Amino acid sequence: MGLRPLGDKVVVKPSEEEEKTPGGILLPDTAKKKPQEGKVVAVGNGRILENGEIKPMSVKVGDTVLYAKYGGTEVTIDGQDYVLLDEDQVFAIIEG
């Protein structure tokens, strides 16, 4: 991937959207929910504090995370969709 985030930015590959309802009805693109879960594919170096120190990132490449539903910037690189988020738009790491 040719995308390297700066500072406290995180690049997430969103999970696939639901194609069917639990009852088996196929959903058109306009009815699909916007994903809020994805896998971290790149992280920046961390936030630069006022004293010049760099605060390390809380997430790392490979983490599965929950993020703000309408947060971040959507980008497409080589036909693949990604979301570029500030670290504080990542709410949780899914463990297990």
Residue 54 main-chain phi, psi, to 5 deg: -105, 125
Closest CA to 84 of 41, 45, 29: 41
Cβ(73)–Cβ(53) below 8 Å: no
Mean pLDDT of the chain: 85
Q: What does the block give as tokens for 27?
A: 């959903």
Q: Please say if the pLDDT value at position 17 is more than 70.
A: no
Kindly report, residue by residue over 39-84, the tens digit of the pLDDT: 999 999 999 999 999 999 999 999 999 998 888 999 999 899 999 9
Q: Does domain 9-17+32-94 have CATH number 2.30.33.40?
A: yes
Amino acid of residue 20: K
